[in-house]
C-alpha cells in the first residue's frame, strides 16, 4: 500500500461519459497514521436493509426447537452456511396491523403504524423505520435510500377490505402521507446507481451512447489503479467485475425477454423471465449499492401481499395466496413451507455473497444488518402475532449471531426496529408503539 499524506477521499468516483462509478472502501482511503482496516482506521460504515416476504409462514417448518441454530428446520435450512450471522426471533408482534389484512401486514411492517381505513387518496400511515435511518445514514451517500421490489405493476384503487392499494404497493414511507414507490426493473435500478439520472428518456439515450458503463470509465480507472497498492487494485478489480457481470445479465435479460411468451403481464422487456433470476439480480444490485457506498439503506419487497405468483420451479404450481389459506391441510402447509424455504434460500445466497466481499479487515456482512420477515404470522387467520423474523449481519461488531431468541410474551416489532436503529448509529428513544429496546438480547461481538 502507498502511504499518503492525505488519504483518498471516500467519495472518489470514476467518471466517464454519462456515468459515475463509486468506489468501495480502499486502504488508500484510511489515514496513513492508522492501521489498515476499516474498524481501526476510521469509524465503521454501518448499513441496514429490510426485506419483506408476504403472507406469513408455516410455523412448524420455520421455528427452531432450541436456543441455538444448530438444528435448522426445513424452511431455514438454506441458511446453514451463514447461520453464525443470523438470529431467528420468535414471538414478534404487530398490533397496529390489526384488524387483520394483507394491506396492513405490508404497511405496518416498517411503520408499526395503523393505516387509515380509506379507499381514496386521503391515505395516512406513518414514517417507516428505513426512512428514519436514511435521514442520518443517507447524509453522506449519493442515494439516501433505495426502494426495490419484484412486482413491476402497481394496482390502484381499493385492494383489501376497504384499504387503498397504496398500502399494499409501498413498503417505504418518508412521511405519513408520502409513500415511496419501489423499482423492480433491474436496468432502471442499475442506471439509478451508476447513471446520471434524469428522465426515463434521458436514461435510455444514455444507454445508446455507451455500450458499457465500465468501458466509459476505462481511462479514469487506469489512472487510479496506477496510484494504488496491490490490495486496493485487487479490491477494485473484484468490484468492477461484479458490476460488469450484473450489466451482462441485464443485457442478456433484455435481449432474451422477447423470446418468452409466458402470460406475465407484470414483466416488461429486460426483466429476467424466471423469478429466482430476477430476485438474484435485484440482490446483486443491492450488494453493488452497498459495496460502492452509493446508499446505506435498502428496502426490498420480495413479493406483494395477496400475490398469486406461482413457483413451479420448486414444485408449487399453485398460486401463493390461495395456498396460504390452508385450513391446516397438510398438503397446503407443505407448499407454504416450500415457498418460505425458497424465499429464504435467495436471502441466504445474498448473505453468502456479502460475507465474501472484504471491507477493511472485515466484510460487507460484518458491517451490515438486515431484518427479513413478514407482517403476517398465520396467513390462514390473517393474524399479526408470532411473525417470521430473521436478523442477519454484524452491524459493525454490534450484533452476535447463531441464536434463536424466544419471547414469552408478544414483543412489539417496533422494539426491534428501535434496537436496530441504535445498533447502526441512529440514536432514538422511541419509535411508533415501541415500549423499549431489546438490546440486551443482542450482545456485541467480542472483537
Pick the most confident of 65-79, 159-173, 428-442: 65-79
Q: Which three cell numbers stand for residue 83?
A: 447461520
User: How many beta carbons lie within 10 A of that of residue 204, not counting itself?
Assistant: 13
Count Cα atoms within 13 angstroms, Cβ side, for 346. Answer: 25
Torsion of CA 29, 34, 35, 41, to 10 degrees: -60
SS (HEC) of the chain: CCCCCCCCCCCCEEEECCEEEECCCCHHHCCCCCCCCHHHHCCCCCEEEEEECCCCCCHHHCCCCCCECCCCCHHHHHHHHHHHHEEEEEEEECHHHCCCCHHHHHHHHHHCCCCCCCCCCCCCCCCCHHHHHHHHHHHHCCCCCEEEECCCCCCCCEEECCEECHHHHCCEEEECCEEECCECCHHHHHHHHHCCCCCHHHHHHHHHHCCCCHHHHHHHHHHHHCCCCHHHHHHHHHHHHHHHHHHHHHHHHHHHHHHCCCCCCCCCCCCCCCHHHHHHHHHHHHHHHHHCCCCCEEEEECCCCCCCCCEHHHCECCCHHHHHCCCCCHHHHHHHHHHHHHHHHHHHHHHHHHHCCEECCEECCCCEEEEEECCCCCCCCCCCECCCEEEEECCCCCCCCCEEEEEEEEEEHHHHHHHHHHHCCCCCCCCCCCCCCCHHHCCCCCC
pLDDT of residue 279 exceeding 90, the answer is: yes
Give the tens place of pLDDT for each residue, 216-254.
Answer: 666 677 777 777 877 778 777 878 887 778 877 877 776
Of 18-27, 187-196, 358-367, 425-434, the range with the highest mean pLDDT is 425-434
Tell me if 57 sits within 8 A of 377, measured CB to CB: yes
pLDDT digits (tens, 9 = 90+) for 284-300: 999 999 998 999 999 99
C-alpha grid cell for residue 386? 408470532
Residues 6 or more apart whose Cβ sits within 8 Å of residue 9: 29
**Residue 81 to residues 31, 336, 356, 393, 402: CA-CA distances in angstroms?**
35, 23, 12, 13, 11
**Residue 352: how many other CB atoms lie within 10 Å:** 15
Q: What pLDDT does residue 40 have? A: 36
Class of domain 48-184+278-283+297-441: alpha beta
Whether 447 shows a pLDDT value over 60: the answer reads no
Structure confidence at residue 3 (pLDDT): 41
End-to-end CA distance of the chain: 25
Separation in Å, CA 372 to CA 223, 234, 265: 41, 32, 27
How do the domains of the chain map onto residue ranges? 1-43+187-270, 48-184+278-283+297-441
- HSE at residue 72, side-chain half, CA atoms within 13 A, is 20
Q: What is the pLDDT of residues 98-143, one digit of tens each?
A: 988 999 999 999 999 999 999 999 999 999 999 999 999 998 898 9
Residue 305 has pLDDT above 80, yes or no: yes
How far does CA 39 lie from the centroid of its chain? 24
Bigger pLDDT: 213 or 188? 188
Confidence category of residue 34, pLDDT binned at 50, 70, 90: very low
- CA distances 381 to 68, 108, 325, Å, are 29, 17, 8
Q: Among 167, 196, 195, 172, which Cα is nearest to 183's? A: 172
209 compared with 3, residue with greater pLDDT:
209
**Residue among 79, 120, 115, 85 nearest 100 (CA):** 115
pLDDT-derived band at 158, boundaries 50, 70, 90: low
Average confidence score pLDDT of the chain: 85
- Contact present, 129 and 419 (Cβ < 8 Å): no
In which band, very low, low, confident or very high, does the pLDDT at 440 lie, cut at 50, 70 and 90?
low
Range with lowest mean pLDDT among 17-31, 182-196, 378-392: 17-31
Amino acid at each position: 500500500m502507498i502511504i499518503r499524506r492525505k488519504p483518498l477521499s471516500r467519495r472518489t468516483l470514476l467518471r466517464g461519459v454519462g456515468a459515475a462509478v463509486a468506489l468501495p472502501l480502499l486502504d488508500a482511503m484510511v489515514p496513513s497514521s492508522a492501521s489498515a482496516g476499516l474498524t481501526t482506521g476510521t469509524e465503521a460504515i454501518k448499513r441496514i436493509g429490510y426485506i419483506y416476504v408476504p403472507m406469513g409462514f408455516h410455523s412448524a417448518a420455520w421455528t427452531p426447537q432450541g436456543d441455538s441454530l444448530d438444528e435448522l428446520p426445513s424452511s431455514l435450512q438454506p441458511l446453514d452456511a451463514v447461520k453464525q450471522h443470523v438470529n431467528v426471533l420468535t414471538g414478534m408482534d404487530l398490533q397496529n396491523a390489526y384488524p387483520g389484512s394483507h394491506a396492513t401486514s405490508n404497511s405496518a411492517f416498517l411503520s408499526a403504524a395503523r393505516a387509515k381505513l380509506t379507499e381514496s387518496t386521503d391515505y395516512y400511515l406513518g414514517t417507516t423505520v428505513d426512512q428514519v435511518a436514511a435521514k442520518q445514514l443517507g447524509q453522506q451517500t449519493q442515494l439516501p435510500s433505495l426502494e426495490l421490489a419484484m412486482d413491476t405493476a402497481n394496482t390502484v384503487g381499493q385492494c383489501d377490505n376497504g384499504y387503498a392499494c397504496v398500502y399494499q404497493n409501498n413498503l417505504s414511507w418518508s412521511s405519513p402521507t408520502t409513500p415511496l414507490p419501489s423499482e423492480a426493473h433491474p436496468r432502471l435500478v442499475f442506471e439509478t446507481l451508476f447513471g446520471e439520472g434524469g428522465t426515463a428518456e434521458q436514461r435510455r439515450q444514455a444507454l445508446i451512447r455507451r455500450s458499457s458503463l465500465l468501458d466509459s470509465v476505462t481511462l479514469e480507472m487506469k489512472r487510479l489503479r496506477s496510484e494504488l497498492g496491490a490490495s486496493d487494485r485487487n479490491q477494485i478489480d473484484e468490484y468492477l467485475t461484479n458490476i460488469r457481470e450484473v450489466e451482462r445479465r441485464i443485457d442478456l435479460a433484455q435481449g432474451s425477454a422477447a423470446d418468452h411468451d409466458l402470460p406475465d403481464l407484470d414483466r416488461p422487456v429486460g426483466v429476467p423471465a424466471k423469478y429466482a433470476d430476477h430476485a438474484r439480480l435485484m440482490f446483486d444490485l443491492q450488494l453493488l449499492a452497498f459495496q460502492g457506498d452509493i446508499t446505506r439503506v435498502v428496502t426490498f419487497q420480495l413479493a406483494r401481499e395477496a400475490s398469486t405468483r406461482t413457483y413451479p420451479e420448486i414444485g408449487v404450481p399453485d398460486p401463493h395466496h390461495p395456498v396460504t389459506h390452508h385450513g391446516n391441510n397438510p398438503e397446503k402447509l407443505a407448499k407454504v413451507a416450500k415457498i418460505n424455504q425458497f424465499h429464504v434460500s435467495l436471502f441466504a445466497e445474498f448473505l453468502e455473497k456479502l460475507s465474501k466481499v472484504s471491507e477493511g479487515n472485515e466484510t460487507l456482512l460484518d458491517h451490515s444488518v438486515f431484518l427479513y420477515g413478514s407482517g403476517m404470522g398465520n396467513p390462514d387467520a390473517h393474524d399479526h402475532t408470532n411473525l417470521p423474523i430473521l436478523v442477519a449481519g454484524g452491524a459493525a461488531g454490534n450484533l452476535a449471531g447463531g441464536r434463536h431468541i424466544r419471547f414469552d410474551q408478544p414483543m412489539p416489532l417496533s422494539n426491534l426496529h428501535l434496537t436496530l436503529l441504535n445498533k447502526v448509529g441512529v440514536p432514538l428513544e422511541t419509535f411508533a408503539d415501541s415500549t423499549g429496546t431489546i438490546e440486551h438480547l443482542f450482545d456485541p461481538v467480542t472483537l
